[in-house]
Structure formats: C-alpha cells, structure tokens
Amino acid sequence: MSAAYDTSPKPLQDLHERVALVTGASSGIGEAIAEHLVRRGVHAALFARRSERLEALAERLSVHSEGEHPGETLVITGDVRQEEDVQRAVQATLDRWGKLDIVVANAGFGYRLSVVEGDTQRWKEMIDTNVYGLLLTLKHGVAPLLERGSGHVIVMSSVAGRVPTPGGAAYCGTKFAATAIADSLRQEVGPKGVRVTTIEPGVVISEFQQVAQYAPEIVPNMLKGAEPLVPTDIARAVVFALEQPAHFAVNEMVVRPTGQAYP
C-alpha cells in the first residue's frame, strides 16, 4: 500500500519571494503578521483604513541589517466593507508583483454588550466588517490563488468563534460565521491546491480592547491572572502554518494564553 505514496518527509517551505495581502495591517495582529512575513522575505501589501499607520509600518520594515533579505511592502488604504477597495487592493498587489500567494483576512473588531443593550449601528458595522468584509476579501483575494492552483488563506477568527459568551452574542456570531466561512472555503479550494487556515486566538493584548470599548474588568476576568498573548505569538502561529510543506494543511489553530480557561 505505502508504495503508492511518496512517504519521504518534505522540507518546510521557504517563504522568500512569496506575495501576501494582509488586511488590518495597521495595528495589532495584522501588523505583527506583516512584519514577520516581510522579515522572512515575503512581499506584503498592507491594507487598512489608517494610511499613516501603514506608511509608518512600511518605513519601519524598509530598515534592515546587512545580510537580511526582507520583502518589499505596498501600502493600500481602504475599507474591507467596500468591494471596490478590496478589488483595488488585490489588483494593486497583482500589478506590483505579478502574483498573489497568501491572503491574510485579519481585519475586524469586537464589541461586547448584551443582546438587549447592544447598539444596533455598532452591530451593523461589526457584521459588515467581520463577516461581509471577510467574504469580500476571500471572494476577490482567493480568485488569483485558484488561477495558479496554489496558495494559502489565513482567516482570523477567535475563540469567540468556538465558545459563545454572555455579552458576546454579536461578536461571537461574527466569529462563528468567520469559522464557518473559512471551513466552507477550505472544502471548495483545498482540492484545487489552495490551503485555508483558521486561527482562533484567545486574549491578545492589542488595540482590540480599546476599539471594543471593553470595561476595565473584562480582560482580567478572562485571564484570571494568566499572562495574555501578544500579536507576535499569533504571527508565529501563522508562519508555522505557512511554512508547512504543500501537502500539509493546518486547518485550524486555537491559541489561548496557557492560563486562560474561558472562553
């Protein structure tokens, strides 16, 4: 039986000269992923709404020591909720480097209030960003990968996409959706050579908590004294998935602080 298969261990992939589009690259997890990719020689299109933050990141990544061969960057300002912005980002990436290998669909934000107290406008913005914006990123970002029959898609979901919590109805809903969307996509594109990895982090300290307007007790209640994750931890998880040989797809990674029991 085994003679029918090549069972030799395959080497890890070198990411040098790969091309990535990273949404939500202006802060936190997306910024750390972009940095880790560029330092490994990946050319990265940095996409978000705050252009000055993206420019500052691009500037920082352009400085390197002798002997290092980092990738190039391209700043693209836009909103994942706007289809023309997402299309423009994909096209600009293709125009610059002639291909796209990696799509990191990371842009998103949280908001916690009970169903009865929740602000309906904030729900709409969050669903538009975390669900519709994700779908737009995947629709336009995955097409060039399919054309070449290879590539890797990273979808940033959350432990909130596995465990519902009181106060989390809307956010958990968007992240359950993200996990489902990613796994549907995996089944569509895996047989065509494109890998999909869903990352589901627990508490990561970033601007997320500020944007979500978390009350001061929320994070300590989740951590109960545990050391939280930082964006670099998630970037390392992403690099681990990307570097695996082409036949090996990390479908899902749940990454919590060691001491975080819930959610």
Specify the residue, 72 or 207, whose C-beta has the smaller distance to ligand NAP.
207
Q: Cα separation of 173 and 162, whole Å?
A: 10
Among 20, 21, 22, 26, binds ligand NAP (CB under 6 A): 26
Residue 142 CB, nearest distance to ligand NAP (Å)? Answer: 18
Q: Taking the CB of residue 117, how many other CB atoms lie within 10 A of it?
A: 8
Specify the residue, 21 or 189, whose C-beta has the smaller distance to ligand NAP.
21
Specify the residue, 146 or 239, whose C-beta has the smaller distance to ligand NAP.
239
Piece of the chain touching ligand NAP by CB under 6 A; list 45-53, 56-64, 94-102, 179-187: 45-53
Tokens 């020689």 appear where? 41
Strand-strand pairing, 194-201 and 19-23: unpaired
Contacts 24+ apart (CB under 8 A), 245-249: 245/10, 245/11, 245/12, 245/13, 246/10, 246/13, 246/150, 246/193, 246/195, 247/10, 248/10, 249/186, 249/190, 249/195, 249/196, 249/197
Q: Which two tokens stand for residue 177?
A: 């959706």
Residue 92 CB, nearest distance to ligand NAP (Å)? Answer: 15
| DSSP classification of residue 128 | I
Residue 202 CB, nearest distance to ligand NAP (Å)? Answer: 7
Among 21, 74, 79, 177, binds ligand NAP (CB under 6 A): 79
The answer to whether 111 is a known catalytic residue is: no
5, 111, 171, 214: the active-site residue: 171
Which DSSP string do the residues of 48-88 spell out, in sequence order? Answer: ES-HHHHHHHHHHHH---TT--PPPEEEEE--TT-HHHHHH
| DSSP classification of residue 107 | -
Among 19, 22, 28, 36, binds ligand NAP (CB under 6 A): 28
Q: How many residues bind ligand NAP (CB under 6 A)?
A: 31
Binding mask 49-68 for ligand NAP (x = CB under 6 A): xx--x---------------
Count of residues making up the chain: 263
Judged by CB under 6 A, the chain residues 159 through 218 that form the site for ligand NAP are: 201, 203-204, 206-208, 211
Specify the residue, 145 or 177, whose C-beta has the smaller distance to ligand NAP.
177
Specify the residue, 91 or 147, whose C-beta has the smaller distance to ligand NAP.
91
User: Residue 67 — left, alpha, or beta (φ > 0 → left; ψ -120 to 50 → alpha)?
Assistant: left
Residues with catalytic annotation? 171
Interface residues with ligand NAP (CB under 6 A) are: 23-30, 48-50, 53, 79-81, 106-110, 129, 133, 156, 158, 201, 203-204, 206-208, 211
